[in-house]
Structure 1
C-alpha cells in the first residue's frame, strides 16, 4: 500500500501552495494530499472572496478537521506542516494519529518562551486589533515581504504574495500568544509521548515570523521523550522556504530524512 502524506499549510497561504511538493512526493512513490483549513475556498481567489468563512477557526477546530481527514485515509499518514501547519502536525503526531511528522518553521507551542521582536512585528497586523480574534486578516505585499519573503527579491516576494496568499483566521495567533498562561491551551502538544513516530523540526536562520530560536526552544520541549526528534536548519532561508524558488532543497531534505527513518 502506498504511504499517504498529508501536507498542512499555515496561516496566509492556500493549500495549493503545496502543488510542487505534491508532484515531487507522488513521483517519489507516496500518496500525497493537501486539503485546506476549515472555511478555505477551493482556490486562492475563492478564499479571498469569502474571508468570513475562514475567520474564527481556532487551533482545536483545525486539529479536528485534519483528524477527520486522517480517519478517511486508508492508513496513517506522514504529516508535513509549515508554520501553524507545523504545530498542527505536532499535535496530531502526539495523539498517535500519524506515522511521522515534519514541522517546518512551526508556530510556537505551549512551553516555548522566547518571543523575538521580529515575530511580534510579523504578527502585528493581527494583534493591533483585538476584534481580529474572530476575523480573517490578509497581509499586504509589504507585510508579506517582512513576515515571509525577506530573503528573496522584492519581485519574487510580490509574485508569491499574489499567487498564494489568502486571508487567515486571527484566532490561532491569539491562542498561541496566551498559551503559557492557559493550562488548557489548544497550543499544548504531547511532547512527552514516548511511543509516537519520528519528528523532524526544520528551522530557518533568517525567519522573521518563527525565528530559529523558537524552533530550538521547541526541540527542548521534547527532551523527556525518547522518540526520534531531529532538527535541521537552513541558515539563509526565511518563512517562505516552502514556496519560494528554493523549495526543492527543503523538499529533498524531507525526502532524505523520511528514507533514513525507513518511511
Structure 2
C-alpha cells in the first residue's frame, strides 16, 4: 500500500527547512511527507541568504506551477499543507484539482478578499514600500520579523527564530496579491466555487499581523458557493509564527486530527 503523500509549502521570508519538524512528525505517523523549496531556492538557509537573486522576480503563478509539476510526479494524490503564501498556493492548487485535501494556515490574501487591516499593510511595507521590489528579493530586519511573525512571542524566541529561519524572498507575490482585486486575471485568484475539489481547512492565528484573522475569515467566506467541505479553525493568542515557533506541535496535531476526520489515512486507500 502506498503511503499518502503530504506536500508542505512555505511562504515568504522562510526557507523550506522550516517545515522539518512537521515532516518528521508526519513521517512518524505513516505519511510520506516532502517539503520542496520554491523554484531556484538554495538548499539551506545560509545559502539562501548569500544568494537573494536566486528567487528574485518569482510570481504566484511561477511558484504554483512549480508545485503542480512536483505533485504530478508523486505516486498518489497528496495532502497539501501551506503557510502564508504557501496557504494561498495550496488553495489555488486544490481549486485546480491538485491534491486530495488541503490545509491553508494563515493564507496570504486571495482575489476577492477586500479587507486590508493596518497591521497587514505594515507587515507588507518592507516589500510594497518600493515599487522596484517587484523585480527584487527583499529581506526583513529582525525588528520587521518580530512585528510580522513574532509579535505573539517573547523577544528572545522571535530573535532566535529570525536567526534560524529568515531568508530573502521575492517581492512580486506581495504586489500581485495587493492589487488582485484590480486585475481581471490576477494570479491571486482561486477557484473557490469548485464543488469537486477535496476538503479544505483554513487555520488562523488570532494575533497574526501579517495575515490578520479577519483576512483568513474573509477567505473562508469566499467558499460559500461551494458544497465541498470547507472548515475554519482559529488559534487564540497565536501569531504568524504558529507553524514553526515553540507551539508548532499543537497546530500540527490539529492538522492530523482534521485529516483523520476526513477519512484520510497515512496508508492511503
TM-score, scaled to structure 2? 0.97
* CA distance in structure 1 between the aligned counterparts of 2:48 and 2:41, rounded to whole angstroms: 6
For 2:229 and 2:33, how far apart are their aligned partners in 1? 23
Q: CA deviation at 1:38?
A: 1.2
- Partner residue in 2 for 1:259: 260
- Could you say which residue in structure 2 is the equivalent of 1:86? 87
Separation (CA, whole Å) in 2 of partners of 1:247 and 1:97: 26
Q: Which residue of 1 aligns with 2:164?
A: 163
The superposition leaves residues 201-241 of structure 1 with CA deviations (integer Å, 9 ceiling, x where unpaired) of 00111000101100110011000000000000001100000
1:5 has 2:6 as partner:
yes
Q: Deviations over 1:102-126 (max 9, x none)?
A: 0000000000000000000001110
Give deviations 1:136-167, integer Å, cap 9, x for gaps: 00001100000001011111101100101110
Q: Which residue of 1 aligns with 2:267?
A: none
Q: Gaps (5+ residues) in structure 2?
A: 265-269
Counterparts of 2:217 and 2:154, CA distance in 1:
27
> What secondary structure is seen at the aligned counterpart in 2 of 1:230?
strand
CA drift of 1:79 comes to: 0.2
- For 2:135 and 2:159, locate their aligned partners in 1 and report how far apart those are by CA, in whole Å: 27
Residue in 2 aligned with 1:240?
A: 241
Instruction: Give the aligned partner of residue 117 of structure 1.
Output: 118
- Cα distance in 2 for residues equivalent to 1:126 and 1:95: 29
Q: Give how far 1:127 is off.
A: 1.1
Q: Supply the RMSD in Å over aligned alpha carbons.
A: 0.5
Cα offset for 1:72? 1.0
Give TM-score scaled by structure 1 length.
0.99
Partner-residue secondary structure (3-state), 1:190: coil
Map residues 129-140 of structure 1 onto 2, 5 A cutoff. 129-140=130-141
User: Which residue of structure 2 lines up, in the alignment, with residue 225 of structure 1?
Assistant: 226
Instruction: Give the aligned length.
Output: 263
Please give the secondary structure, in 2, of the residue aligned with 1:79: strand
Instruction: Please state whether the residue corresponding to 1:26 is helix, strand or coil.
Output: helix
**Whole-angstrom CA distance in 1 between matches of 2:96 and 2:186:** 15
Write the distance in 1 (CA, Å) between the matches of 2:22 and 2:60.
24
Task: Report SS of the residue matched to 2:99.
Answer: coil
In structure 1, stretches of 5+ residues that fail to align are none
**SS of structure 2 residue aligned to 1:102:** strand
Partners of 1:218 and 1:171 in 2: how far apart? Answer: 21
